[in-house]
Chains A and B, each alone.
Chain A
Amino acid sequence: MEKIMELRNIDKIYGTQIQTQVLYDINLSFEQGSFNSIIGQSGSGKSTLLNIMGTLDRPTNGQVLIKGIPANEMTENELADLRNTSIGFVFQFHYLLPEFTAIENVLMPFQIQTGKITKEIRNKAEEYMDLVGLSQVRNNPSSKMSGGQQQRTAIARALINRPSIILADEPTGNLDSDSTETIYELMRDINQKLGTTFIIITHDRRIAEKADRIVEIKDGRINLDIRK
């Protein structure tokens, strides 16, 4: 299987005066179409790692290769393009734009890419809203939806540009267990239907066990790497 995301000798040190090393020499790669989970205690460095994979943060040392291309050799605009077309983010605190409706939020990554909305893409957005079970509320202001609905909207948004990778940081962290279950099933479903690679941080072992692979981070190092 092709490596879609590869981390080579990643160190991350925060601070200049008082330096705290958060990641130590991480070597890790993920295959295209795989469904992966990252677990670990709070403060172990999971989010830092995910943000580095998503090119939102830069490692202190080491290289991130996305589809074989080293991220550190790209300009800011190229990285922005890469994030827009190849990576979908789902954060713990859903981060929708409150000024826009649910479907407008879903369409946002597409608009960033092309500037305008076509009939086809609108249909596709409606399809994704359907897929995440929100066709009824798609025209609601995003701020007027429940936490679970917002998170599902964020997933539809992450899908709209058909990215190859979806990075999710505790996407169900503040949801009840029913919603949590729905959302994981949804992501698993998308992974199977569309072949999208998922890398999901979770603290829920029950959920992690449903993934093809579990990576455990402990104190900034890989402690476990289990594939099924």
Chain B
Amino acid sequence: MRLGFKIAVRFLKSNLGQTFLIVLGIAIGVSVQIFIGSLIQGLQKSLIDKTIGNSAHITVLSAEEEEETENQEIIEDYDLLYQEILGINAKIEDAVVVADYPAVLEYEEDSQSVLVRGFDLAQAEAIYEFSDRLVEGRIPKETDEVMLGIDLKDKYKLKVGDFVTLITNKGNVDEFIVSGFFDLKVSSVNKTWAVTTLKSSENLFGLDRTITSIEIQLAEANVFDADLVADQIRQTLGAEYEIEDWKSQNEQLLSGLSGQSISSIMIQVFVLISVVLGIASVLAITVMQKSRQLGILKAMGIKNSAASYIFLFEGFLLGILGAILGIAFGLGLAYSFTKFAINPDGTPVIALFISPSFIAGSGVIAVVASVLAALVPAIRSSKLNPIDIIRNN
């Protein structure tokens, strides 16, 4: 083993140009893999972030049609339910109670319909991060304070501190002070949400301790289990409740993403195959080039297995060097991509997702592939008969 390694190193050093070319070949393969992989993963992550970043992963609604107010099915006495939901599955990170009702917003001569969303606003941070999303003003604290989407501010030239009127379907009317504006990066939300406290919403709609839904947030690593967790909640809570999850609501997006993943894997597999073929053919030539040396070594009594280790080690060393260089190239490529392919505001067009485990995985695959590619030359060298070399001088 040790001798095989030593001879492999010498063989590689004795032909630096060729060694460098193979290493470069592997490195290019690895860097393409890393770049494409990081690009696709980044793309998918940002798409998923946009889809579920600031929205509930799972929503629990009432399924009882008779208990309707303001055309909404309601949930009364939600405290027990809330506690129960939090305990259903460890993947559930947070839950937020919400009272959602439609209303009409009036400001000076204008009016439009809005969705009044009453939250326990401290709780709602878990999903909506209003403190980060706030563009101006502050989050509603007192009753009769409302926070509006940024689009409404521009549309009606509203300012923090202005008074707006909210009118419910039943005809309840109340004046609210605009406490601030938020931007949740989704225009339909920015145009129609009027966020207020649970208390204000109860007052406005004349309801007490009544909500319309409980929104659930999963830990980041578990977002793709939303459908499974939703199933479990459905089973636990029974038919009284309707459970929605983001995955079922975004099936098209998800199938698009999985198609993209498959094509990215295909690209990576083909890159890998061409790298393996490249190494295998160059190493096969190396066996020919070194057949004289192998003949001498065998005449001196090196065993066939030890002779084959030489080439396995060559493959291994080439793989290691290629992987290291390839990772450096790949990261460099990714870095320059995020530096040069940028939006007018300086943010990258696509935020690459640099996953250390993916990069390490690509490196390991390159090393394994290189060793596998060295298998054919290794077998050849173990089969080489020294007499053929000695006889033909």
* Chain A residues at the B interface, C-beta cutoff of 8 Å: 47, 51, 54, 56-57, 76-77, 80-85, 89, 91-93, 95-100, 108-109, 111-113, 115-116, 157
A103 to B306, CA, bound (A): 21
A111 to B310, CA, bound (A): 14
- Most central of B3, B298, B301, B304 by chain A CB within 10 Å: B301
Closest 10 A/B residue pairs (Cβ): A84-B301, A99-B10, A83-B301, A99-B14, A80-B301, A115-B2, A95-B296, A56-B387, A57-B387, A112-B302
Q: Which residues of B contact A98 (CB under 8 A)?
A: 14, 293
CB closest chain-A residue, reference B298: A80
Minimal beta-carbon separation of B308 from chain A (angstroms): 13
Partner of B1, one of A80, A83, A99, A115: A115
A98-B14, A113-B301 given; name 16 further pairs at CB < 8 Å. A51-B387, A81-B303, A82-B301, A83-B300, A89-B299, A92-B393, A93-B393, A95-B296, A97-B297, A98-B293, A100-B10, A109-B301, A112-B297, A112-B300, A112-B301, A112-B306
CB closest chain-A residue, reference B293: A97
A92 to B393, CA, bound (A): 8
Give the interface residue-count category, chain B: 20 to 34
A89 to B14, CA, bound (A): 25
Q: What are 14 A-B contacts defined by CB distance under 8 Å? A: A76-B304, A77-B304, A81-B303, A85-B301, A91-B393, A95-B299, A96-B296, A97-B297, A98-B293, A99-B13, A109-B300, A112-B300, A115-B1, A157-B300
Within 8 A of A (CB), among B365-393: 386-387, 390-391, 393
Within 8 A of A (CB), among B1-49: 1-3, 6-7, 10-11, 13-14
A51 to B389, CA, bound (A): 12
Q: Which residues of A contact B387 (CB under 8 A)?
A: 51, 56-57
Q: Which residues of A contact B3 (CB under 8 A)?
A: 111-112, 115
Q: In the complex, how many residue pairs between chain A and chain B have their CB atoms under 8 Å apart? A: 73
CB closest chain-B residue, reference A92: B393
Partner of B390, one of A51, A96, A97, A116: A51
Partner of B391, one of A51, A83, A108: A51
Q: Which residues of B contact A95 (CB under 8 A)?
A: 292, 295-296, 299, 390
Contact B303 A77, beta carbon cutoff 8 Å: yes
Contact B299 A54, beta carbon cutoff 8 Å: yes
Q: Which residues of A contact B2 (CB under 8 A)?
A: 115-116
A216 to B6, CA, bound (A): 43
Q: Which residues of A contact B10 (CB under 8 A)?
A: 97, 99-100
Q: Which residues of A contact B303 (CB under 8 A)?
A: 76-77, 80-81
Contact A56 B386, beta carbon cutoff 8 Å: yes
Minimal beta-carbon separation of B126 from chain A (angstroms): 61
CB closest chain-A residue, reference B306: A112
A128 to B300, CA, bound (A): 17
A109 to B387, CA, bound (A): 18
Minimal beta-carbon separation of B181 from chain A (angstroms): 73
A31 to B386, CA, bound (A): 27
Partner of A99, one of B11, B298, B390, B393: B11
- Most central of A51, A92, A98, A112 by chain B CB within 10 Å: A112
A108 to B303, CA, bound (A): 13
Partner of A89, one of B6, B7, B300: B300
A113 to B387, CA, bound (A): 21
Partner of B296, one of A80, A82, A97: A97
A219 to B283, CA, bound (A): 42
CB closest chain-A residue, reference B9: A99
Partner of A56, one of B7, B304, B390: B390
Q: Which residues of B contact A47 (CB under 8 A)?
A: 391
Q: Which residues of B contact A116 (CB under 8 A)?
A: 2
A93 to B296, CA, bound (A): 11
A23 to B295, CA, bound (A): 24
Q: Which residues of A contact B306 (CB under 8 A)?
A: 112
Contact B301 A91, beta carbon cutoff 8 Å: no
Q: Which residues of A contact B301 (CB under 8 A)?
A: 80-85, 109, 112-113
A92 to B390, CA, bound (A): 10
A197 to B154, CA, bound (A): 104
Interface membership of chain B positions 231-263, coded 1 if the CB is closer than 8 angstroms to chain A and 0 otherwise: 000000000000000000000000000000000
